[in-house]
Amino acid sequence: MKILIADPVSEQGVAVLAAKHTVDVKTKLPPAELIKIIGAYDGLVVRSETKVTKEVIAAATNLKVIGRAGVGVDNIDVTAATQHGIIVLNAPEGNTVAATEHTMAMMLALARHVAQAHASVQAGQWERSKFMGVELRGKTLGILGLGRIGTGVAKRAIALEMNVIAYDPFVSAQGAKALGIELMELMDVVKSADFLTLHLPLTADTKNLINSDTIAQMKDGVRIINCARGGTIDEEALAAALKTGKVAGAAVDVFATEPLDAASPLRGLPNVILTPHLGASTLEAQVGVAVDVAAGVAAALNGEPVTTAVNLAPVPPHVMQVIRPYFTLAERMGCLAIHLADGPVCAVDVEYNGSLADVDTRMLTTAVLKGLLNPILPETVNYVNANNLAKSRSIRVKEVKSQDAAANFANLISVRVRTDKTEHIVAGTLFGLEEGRIVLIDGHRVDVDPQGWLLIGPHVDRPGIIGKVGTLLGEHNINIAGMQVGRTATAGTNIMVLAVDSDIPTPVMMKLKAVDGILGARLVNFAAD
């Protein structure tokens, strides 16, 4: 088979493909030229430069797989590829060590003022007393997020004789303890850390997680490192804390807007180290992503399972015809369920009632897991890896089927999520042919369109509570686009579901949760699933 490599990749990756296939390396192709020649190829490998548009895909009459040598696939029209039956895959593992080591380098440089001292000597100064540092040994490192990179940082920090504590609501205490890590609640980590490093995805819950309120609860002289995702730190608040000395230093590799704006408040501060998103920028990582993507492309062309595919795996046409309208609904039910859950998920039961029970629903169950895991994991979750990721986190997944209609619906999907603390149930169905609706949340009958931003607020059933929430949102210029209030069969509690037009900042969410009678408030961003 013929493979086109349209962007520069490591020769090791080229060699993997060339061992069994004909490989052409043609880089910097104009779009028109790519469209002209792509029909001759079975596989395409790109990085970020080449744009694989719907026009390119339409011309790719023989294309079976597109491999991205890296993580992000923003330059590939995945929807168009899926519609044409083309597998799209990436290489999420190749840069793990690079990102881990960059975090350690940033932490060490921060502790010993390496960047600032270097600049001083280069400028002709000799200011030994000005750059008095601190040792890592004996210090407490707080890690927010124990994915591959967070865990790698923990292992290396333990080797440096640091005391490692971490927050990750989806990791078991036993698993963390086995690594020598003490698992704690978020604010306990924030309050206890001498060094704080972030390894979280950017979600509605993590956006500006480090803000003026959280910084105020940190130790005086804390040092903060972020080599994960821009937007998880309020950069204005961080800059203010660096100026006062509340935060002794910060090392930042990722930013809310990249390239970093010339007017950024972080520029010019003497106690901050800034790098231009270098987490994956090592020779080894570039080799790693090239080899990984080459292996994935080779497997796809050979008809083997592809564990890094980012789009839908093949499903028999007669099954696809039945389940296709439910994919978005199933995924968003999983997304809603995980936002309701407290603590590590130990079990997920997906029940199918009605005619859906007559077909193979495993792909729909995978869609539920995809929606459930995507908001909480830093790596991309897809239809291929969702089940393995759930298994790796010791989540038991079970399908239950009944051909009997339930709750007056011809077809009903129910997702039950269990943690060691709580159990939550979300149920949904289709109105008409493709209009997905959430119809049940924890026993509360609702009719919710799972789109955009939703604020979920269980509350005591008494007058005035909904009005207080509406007033609070209005005071902060947050528009309510729609509202549902559901009751249970048991009197005393209701649930409000508010569709809002924008994100709700963390300080406002804290105020909402503090409203007398609110039994918890959760914000879900379906647009990010």
Q: Establish how many alpha carbons lie within 13 A of residue 498's alpha carbon, considering only the half-sphere containing its beta carbon.
A: 22
Whether 143 and 252 map to the same domain: the answer is: yes
Phi, psi angle pair for 35, to nearest 5°: -60, -35
pLDDT for the residue numbered 409: 83
Whether 509 and 442 map to the same domain: the answer is: no
Closest CA relative to residue 300, chosen from 39, 1, 501, 513: 1
pLDDT band at 528 (very low <50, low <70, confident <90, very high): low
User: Do the domain assignments include residue 310?
Assistant: no
Whether 360 and 461 map to the same domain: the answer is: no
Mean pLDDT of 210-234: 96
Phi, psi angle pair for 78, to nearest 5°: -65, -40
Phi, psi angle pair for 413, to nearest 5°: -110, 125
Query: Ramachandran region of residue 477, left (φ > 0), alpha (ψ -120 to 50) or beta?
Result: left
Question: What pLDDT digit, counting tens, does each position of 55-85 carry?
Answer: 999 999 999 999 999 877 878 998 888 777 7
pLDDT for the residue numbered 403: 74
Whether 437 and 510 map to the same domain: the answer is: no
User: Do the domain assignments include residue 279?
Assistant: no
Cα gap 150→138, rounded to integer Å: 19
Helix, strand and coil percent figures for the chain, each rounded to 5? 35, 25, 40
Question: What pLDDT digit, counting tens, does each position of 45-58 carry?
Answer: 998 889 999 999 99
At position 14, the amino acid (one-letter code) is V
User: Do the domain assignments include residue 307?
Assistant: no
Mean pLDDT of 130-141: 97
pLDDT for the residue numbered 322: 86
What are the Cα distances from residue 75, in Å, to 28, 50, 72? 14, 7, 8
Question: What pLDDT digit, counting tens, does each position of 302-319 carry?
Answer: 877 677 888 865 456 677
User: Do the domain assignments include residue 415?
Assistant: yes
Mean pLDDT of 250-276: 96
pLDDT for the residue numbered 405: 62
Q: Establish how many alpha carbons lie within 13 A of residue 183's alpha carbon, considering only the half-sphere containing its beta carbon.
A: 17
Could you tell me whether strands 480-487 and 65-68 are parallel, antiparallel, or unpaired per DSSP bridges? unpaired
* Residue that has been written with the tokens 């590799």 in this structure: 253
Whether 205 and 177 map to the same domain: the answer is: yes
Contact 524, 203 (CB under 8 A): no
Whether 54 and 188 map to the same domain: the answer is: no
User: Do the domain assignments include residue 348?
Assistant: yes
Mean pLDDT of 365-387: 82
**Six token digits for residue 382:** 């897809």
User: Do the domain assignments include residue 52?
Assistant: yes
Mean pLDDT of 153-158: 98
**Six token digits for residue 141:** 């490192």
Question: What pLDDT digit, counting tens, does each position of 316-330 carry?
Answer: 667 778 888 898 899
At position 140, the amino acid (one-letter code) is T
SS3 for 150-184, per residue?
A: HHHHHHHHHHCCCEEEEECCCCCHHHHHHCCCEEC
* Residue that has been written with the tokens 């490093």 in this structure: 197
The residue out of 422, 450, 478 marking a domain boundary is 450
Whether 256 and 343 map to the same domain: the answer is: no
At position 339, the amino acid (one-letter code) is H
Contact 415, 349 (CB under 8 A): yes
Question: What pLDDT digit, counting tens, does each position of 381-413 carry?
Answer: 766 678 878 988 889 999 999 877 666 788 899
Report which DSSP code applies to 233.
B
The CATH number of the domain where 344 resides is what?
Answer: 3.30.1330.90
- Pick 311 or 353 by higher pLDDT: 353
Number of folded domains in the chain?
Answer: 4
| Sign of the dihedral defined by the CA atoms of residues 105, 108, 111, 115, in that order | negative
User: Do the domain assignments include residue 529?
Assistant: yes
pLDDT for the residue numbered 307: 72
The rounded percent of the chain whose pLDDT value lies above 90 is 66
Question: What pLDDT digit, counting tens, does each position of 420-445 carry?
Answer: 888 999 999 998 878 899 999 988 88
pLDDT for the residue numbered 235: 97
User: Do the domain assignments include residue 341?
Assistant: yes
Query: Which stretch of DSSP H or E encloses residue 68?
Result: strand 65-68
The CATH number of the domain where 220 resides is what?
Answer: 3.40.50.720
Whether 519 and 468 map to the same domain: the answer is: yes
pLDDT band at 87 (very low <50, low <70, confident <90, very high): confident
Whether 445 and 496 map to the same domain: the answer is: no
Could you tell me whether strands 22-25 and 2-5 are parallel, antiparallel, or unpaired per DSSP bridges? parallel
- Residue 472's domain comprises 451-529
Mean pLDDT of 126-131: 94
Whether 397 and 455 map to the same domain: the answer is: no
Whether 109 and 237 map to the same domain: the answer is: yes
pLDDT for the residue numbered 312: 62
pLDDT for the residue numbered 407: 60
What is the residue-averaged pLDDT of the chain? Answer: 91
Whether 344 and 490 map to the same domain: the answer is: no
The CATH number of the domain where 500 resides is what?
Answer: 3.30.70.260
| Catalytic residue annotation | 229, 258, 277
